[in-house]
Structure 1
């Protein structure tokens, strides 16, 4: 399956906030910036496993709530850290609705 799947309204995520989406790939943090851009990253910080969805969003970055690693929402790269990065995922907003890559929701693991 290809395309995008509606996961909710942009208004459901506060500005500079995040929501958690459970997918076949694991938990994904969906972030909304102050200027209403959205980003999707793995929810787990590679440093100590902190939940990025509970971090502080500032500009186009999020700070991990456990040890203050700062991740670029565009690239998933930790700023100023060694070997720190999380995966990013295709996401967009259309008519006030947040759409995420449908393959993340429908993909299943082989037996």
Structure 2
């Protein structure tokens, strides 16, 4: 029997709302030891939601939760293992690579991360404010 996609909220943390701030360039995504292996984890940041997927402690990827198709928040979508599916149009993405499962269609935008003193730190591009 195939495993069905389940609503993302089932495995996500219930983070409090955070005020949007386009000037933030770095954000602590949490303690690496607390990121579950082989499950998608959502972290709210001032630059929007980030999807974190850890194949193992040494193989952690982070992506913007914005669907490249129509801008939907993928953290409100559906997940199955290393896959996330947009709730609006069914686009599916591999969280190991960010690739769209439909060849030739855009994938997710990767968020650069680093481990610092046991924490997973996200680095966002600098945005100019007018």
Report TM bin, short chain.
Answer: 0.5 to 0.7
- Partner Cα distance (1:100, 1:43) in 2: 13
Query: Contact 2:50/2:63 (CA < 8 Å) preserved in 1?
Result: yes
Query: Contact 1:21/1:29 (CA < 8 Å) preserved in 2?
Result: yes
- Partner Cα distance (1:57, 1:73) in 2: 10
Structure 2: any 5+ residue segments left out of the alignment? 1-24
Aligned positions, number: 102
Deviation at 1:53, TM superposition (A): 2.7
Query: Contact 1:56/1:65 (CA < 8 Å) preserved in 2?
Result: no
Q: Which has the larger radius of gyration?
A: 2
- Partner Cα distance (1:19, 1:100) in 2: 13
Higher relative CO (CA 8 A, sep ≥ 6), structure 1 or 2? Answer: 1
Deviation at 1:43, TM superposition (A): 0.8
